[in-house]
Structure 1
Amino acid sequence: MRRPIRTVTVTAACVGVLLVGAGGPGAAVHAAVRSAVDCADPGQPINPVPWPQQMLGPERAWPFTQGGGVTVAVLDSGVDAHHPQLAGRVADGFDAVAGGGSANDDCLGTGTQVAGVIAAGQAPAVGFVGLAPRVWILPIRVLDERGASGGVAAPDVLARGIDAALSWNADVLAVSAVSYTDDTRLRDAVARAVSRGVVVVAAVGDRGDEQATGIIPYPAAYPGVVGVGAIDEAGERWRGSQQGSFVDLVAPGGAVPTLQRGAGMTVVNGTGVACAFAAGAVALVHARRGDPQADEMVRQLLATAVPAAGGDAYGHGIVNPYGAVTDRVAGNGPEPLPALVRPPAEASPAWARSRELAIAGSVVALLVVLTVLVTAVAMPRGRRRLWRSASAAAPANRVEPDEPGPPVSLFPAG
């Protein structure tokens, strides 16, 4: 992620003030060294609602949950705990680079940018707000504050940071820093997180516009990790977002407004802020479901994604916070039908009574039909005979003569 920087000159007088006010020589020297580093400038006010919020619509999920009770660890450069939109919701954290100490300050600013996308609260006259504005942020510093790493963390430092997040009982890990070394220590730390039911969401790296191929980002490429790529406002792959089978989801990562260390906001690019959108969605699902299984949350996140252009640059699609919170995803396969049960040999009394009623009804219906048919035939005939008996009179008894009679002339003479 690109950011403006400024040069700060620390005089001996400044160091003296730090020695007096910091509560001890060690803390004072550490603070003086940090102040002498080229730290990112504070941001500027950005009032309109940013395009990622308009695209994802997280406010539709807030009537159900805003992420309260969930801890999201941000593995980056630390988080500015004094930013007005994060104040009161950032833990001390752990500095994995130094091997000890807190991480609730941020010289580079990238960790604050990620934390802002996840958890920034509402501020007057500011349209920007995080996806899960009530989560608790646990900052884990894994990037050297001098900025020479370019967003790339040493694998052993990342492993130490993941273990620290687990010791703080983080529910979700947002690993916005990337390593390009497959290291056993990092692989084992990720496996420990997955085995404990912690969802690990990781950026897939910002080297997509380089000519070299086969650049594998870790921990995004490890099993059980949700790898997140970046898209721009048009829904197309941000040019720096890496492509490969390690991409499970995409989220806004091109020209994204977010918080900046010190105060105000800035506009950044990168898969690190895209990772933050996915981690915020996981936090919402976690808070909504109570204490769900990690694989259930991952399946919910992937199954509710909005279809994208396709290919290994987009994974399952665009993260969908509202759908992830409200939709119900079916299980892995269809439910089996219940087994057929043979009816008992002896019919129940109710069945016998129903049978008797059916037979009686059939007899009555047959009689009615016969009556109707007989009536239909008899009525016309009765009317024709004026309702007289249809029996014929007995024939007359005529006696035939034994001898024939005289001949009869058929044609009498003129």
Structure 2
Amino acid sequence: MPSDRCRRALSLAAAVAIPALLLAPPARADGGDPVSLPPLRLRMAAGDPCATASAKTATMSPWTHRALQLSRSWQLTRGAGVTVAVVDTGVGARVPALTGRVTAVDGAGEDCVGHGSFAAGLIAAAPTGKGTVTGVAPAARILAVRGTDARGVPDGGLVADGIRTAVDEGAHVVYVGQVLDSGGPELAAAVAYAAGRDVLVVAPAVPDVAPKGADGRPDTRARPSWPARLPGVLSVVDHGPDGGRPKDAPAALSADLSAPGDAVVGIGARGDGHFIGSGSSLAAAHVAGAAALLRAYHPDLNAAGTARRLTEAAYPDHTPRLDVYAALTALLSGERAPAERSPDPAVVPPSAAEGPRHRALLIGGGALALVLVVGAAMVVVPLGKARGWRPAG
């Protein structure tokens, strides 16, 4: 038997090892070494060729699945019946993980950059082959709408038109994958148009990469970002496995929610390989997938109610952290608990048939009478013989 000192050492080792396992790199090769997945691109330079399929595949479940408690949420819903519009660089319509569930508008079924496809995968990818990368709502549908040019450069007019198109095409949730450094009346009108038709808009609160300052270093100062700054938009900032953000990440003026966005593994615009990326645009994709689950599980919930559930049921922090399962199941203040079903009335079993009961009583009574007659005869007959059958007295 191990000594007390050995047991304490083993307990301490376990206490250190378990968190280390939880925070270990999510993508690992069969031999156990970390996989060097190709990085996700946000946009392409003018002379760059389009992104190709990744030749590498993650073989372990990403840390984001555990952080979001997706296995518990999928016992309730997988987002079937809900459409999420991806207003971004396009979505590869022939990606195996999204086969049969992508509708593209005006050529948005081609994605040269890969960012829109990656985000669509975080929202709704289904597991394929040996890969374990699955979207938050793997049964939801994707509507691909362009919000950038072919190289991934965003434009306010394109984003505004994309939001309106998404609403008109029947989207329940609109994910905007790009950050604009200014907003205009056209963009504000598009967001209001979505809100007026019960469509929730989700957008990153900060750019994925901080701009370079005059000294060449990342300028992480907080700046306003659009469309996240507009009323009615659910704004999202990223966090990593430890709950923090990288030191060189741009600061956010404010955000409604925080969601996993660092070292995120996802699909590309073609093939079944995987990429790795970081940034608030990926965190916003997770929130858009969570909104799809909510709208599927609570079909009577409107866009404002969906945003309220996501934010109020979130894990309390400086910026509330997305908790998908709690959003699906929590009873928020001001809500009524589901009416309890009245117990069924007690049922008295029917009495036995009366005929057999009466027959049994008659037989029993007759037998008793016969016994009494025989008993009386056994007493009376000897006495009568003794007196010669003369009357008494």
TM-score by length of 2: 0.69
One-letter amino acid of the structure 2 residue matched with residue 326 of structure 1: T
Aligned partners of 1:223, 1:282: CA distance in 2, in Å? 18
**Aligned with 2:236: secondary structure?**
strand
One-letter amino acid of the structure 2 residue matched with residue 293 of structure 1: N
Aligned partners of 1:240, 1:84: CA distance in 2, in Å? 34
Q: Contact 2:124/2:136 (CA < 8 Å) preserved in 1?
A: yes
Aligned partners of 2:101, 2:248: CA distance in 1, in Å? 31
Q: Contact 2:294/2:327 (CA < 8 Å) preserved in 1?
A: yes
**Aligned with 1:91: secondary structure?**
strand
Residue 3 of structure 1 corresponds to which residue in structure 2?
40
User: Which stretch of the first structure deviates more once superposed, 229-238 or 110-119?
Assistant: 229-238
Q: Contact 2:220/2:248 (CA < 8 Å) preserved in 1?
A: no
Residue 340 of structure 2 corresponds to which residue in structure 1?
none
Q: Contact 2:208/2:278 (CA < 8 Å) preserved in 1?
A: no
**Aligned with 1:180: secondary structure?**
coil
Residue 321 of structure 1 corresponds to which residue in structure 2?
324
Cα 1:175–1:239 change in 2 (3 A) is: farther
* Structure number with larger C-alpha Rg: 1
Aligned partners of 1:4, 1:270: CA distance in 2, in Å? 11
Q: Contact 1:4/1:41 (CA < 8 Å) preserved in 2?
A: no
Pick the aligned partner of 1:123 from 128, 139, 150: 128
One-letter amino acid of the structure 2 residue matched with residue 325 of structure 1: L
Identity of aligned residues (%): 34
Deviation at 1:332, TM superposition (A): 7.8
Q: Contact 1:3/1:40 (CA < 8 Å) preserved in 2?
A: no
What aligned pairs does 1:101-250 form with structure 2 within 5 A after superposition? Answer: 101-147=106-152, 149=153, 153-204=154-205, 205-208=207-210, 210-211=218-219, 213=221, 215-239=223-247, 241-250=249-258
Does residue 277 of structure 1 match 2:280? no
TM-score by length of 1: 0.66
Q: Contact 2:41/2:113 (CA < 8 Å) preserved in 1?
A: no
Q: Contact 2:180/2:226 (CA < 8 Å) preserved in 1?
A: yes
Aligned partners of 2:39, 2:200: CA distance in 1, in Å? 27
Q: Contact 2:59/2:132 (CA < 8 Å) preserved in 1?
A: yes
Deviation at 1:180, TM superposition (A): 1.1
Residue 261 of structure 2 corresponds to which residue in structure 1?
253
**Aligned with 2:307: secondary structure?**
helix
Instruction: After superposition, give the CA deviation of every residue in 1:56-81 in whole Å (9 maximum; x if it has no partner).
Output: 12121112110000000001101011
Counting matched residue pairs gives 289
Instruction: After superposition, give the CA deviation of every residue in 1:128-179 in whole Å (9 maximum; x if it has no partner).
Output: 11110000100111112224x3xxx211111111111011011001111111
Does residue 76 of structure 1 match 2:84? no
Does residue 266 of structure 1 match 2:275? yes
Gaps of 5+ in 1: 8-33, 95-100, 334-414
Cα 1:85–1:176 change in 2 (3 A) is: same
Q: Contact 2:79/2:138 (CA < 8 Å) preserved in 1?
A: yes
Aligned partners of 2:249, 2:169: CA distance in 1, in Å? 31
Residue 51 of structure 2 corresponds to which residue in structure 1?
40
Aligned partners of 2:332, 2:270: CA distance in 1, in Å? 41
Aligned partners of 2:335, 2:140: CA distance in 1, in Å? 30
